[in-house]
Amino acid sequence: MYLDGVLTTATNGTVSGLEPKTYTLKITKNGYVTWEKPIPVFPELVTDITAVLVAQTPRLEPLTNTGAGQPSISPSLTKLAYLSKDTIKPGIWVIPLSQGGLSLFRATPYIVVADIPKKTLSTATSIEWSPDEKKLLVQGANNTFDIVDLQTNVAQSTSSAENIRKTWNDETVKKRSDFIEKLGLSKNIAALAVSAETVWSPDDKKFLYTVETSIQREYRVYNLEKPLPVGEKVDNLVFSIGIKDPQPKVTWYYDSYHLILTELDQTRTKGRISLVRIDGSNKTEIYNNSLYSDAVYSSPSGDKLIILTSFKSASQTDLYTLGIH
């Protein structure tokens, strides 16, 4: 670790006795992308640093091998639903993400609902989770909908998809509103916090929102931590993009201090994945290759990202883990 270019320590630890000012902190490690950031130091206060070192050559390992599509993560980020056209058991599958290591041989995916001649859910176009994670709303290829009960493993057709979505959204808004009400936030911030477009962090203390002008869209993070960590801001501009330019898919990294940015090309068969801190610093490219979905998720421990890709043209796609530490 270097402070203003001077080697300070070779391991994790605390550096004391620093004169109050802003230092340039650089962390290096063989085989990893260098991390660098201006760090303010204040009198009699401890500045905590959350640095993520990304491997120069991330490890790519299969998580499924019988085909996968339309991955969708649960609200608690602990389960991943996906579609599989497996020749033996096609249908909707779920992978628990919180059990041991994530790999083809250690993961324990299970089938939720298998295809039947009159209902081939493996060809669906989207999967949505209920707030309590007990049901899935599955949209079929012909704009039909099924509600899947994960406790009984039964799928039933429904013509009330919009009502179901509204009910689920109302439940989420109610939960958020009860939490926000206790914080005494301004009406504008409270409204942003419960907006359907707002994305909350895993620790439920920050949220990602966007602000649009006639020429650009700002991606911002509002930090509700109390007390606010030294050196952190309440409202952070992460990045901005022209309103007419392609917009990335943004999801949270497990530590709630970083965001995952996914950008697909026009063919939607190749993409770039980056990690950026909530203050916009240290944007690091992690992956730039074949990618068949902008749904990219962090593992619960943060050591891996889960992506959908394929190594053969015109071949089945599968879920893979991208080891970044």
CB 91 within 8 A of CB 114: yes
pLDDT at 314 (0 to 100): 63
Four-way CATH pick for 179-323: 3.30.1380.10, 2.130.10.10, 3.40.50.300, 3.30.360.10: 2.130.10.10
Which two three-digit tokens encode residue 55? 């491997």
CB atoms within 10 A of CB 21: 10
CA distances from 9 to 2, 26, 27, 40, 166 (A): 7, 11, 10, 18, 53
Enter the pTM of the model.
0.91
pLDDT in tens, the chain (325 residues): 888 888 887 666 677 778 889 999 999 889 999 999 888 888 888 888 878 899 898 999 999 999 999 999 999 989 999 999 988 999 999 999 976 567 766 778 999 999 999 899 999 999 999 999 999 999 998 899 999 999 999 999 999 999 999 999 999 999 889 888 888 888 899 999 999 899 999 999 999 999 999 999 999 999 999 899 888 999 999 999 999 999 999 999 999 999 999 999 998 899 999 999 999 999 999 999 999 999 999 998 899 999 999 987 667 899 999 999 8
Nearest to 103 by CA among 60, 52, 56, 53: 60
Q: Nearest 5°: phi and psi at 187?
A: -60, -40
User: How far apart are the C-alpha atoms of 104 and 94, rounded to whole Å?
Assistant: 14
Q: Is 46 exposed, middle or buried (0-12, 13-18, 19+ CB in 10 A)?
A: exposed
Q: Could you state, in order of their start, the residue ranges of all structural domains in the chain?
A: 2-40, 65-162, 179-323
pLDDT at 98 (0 to 100): 77
Give the count of alpha carbons within 13 A of 269, CB side only: 8
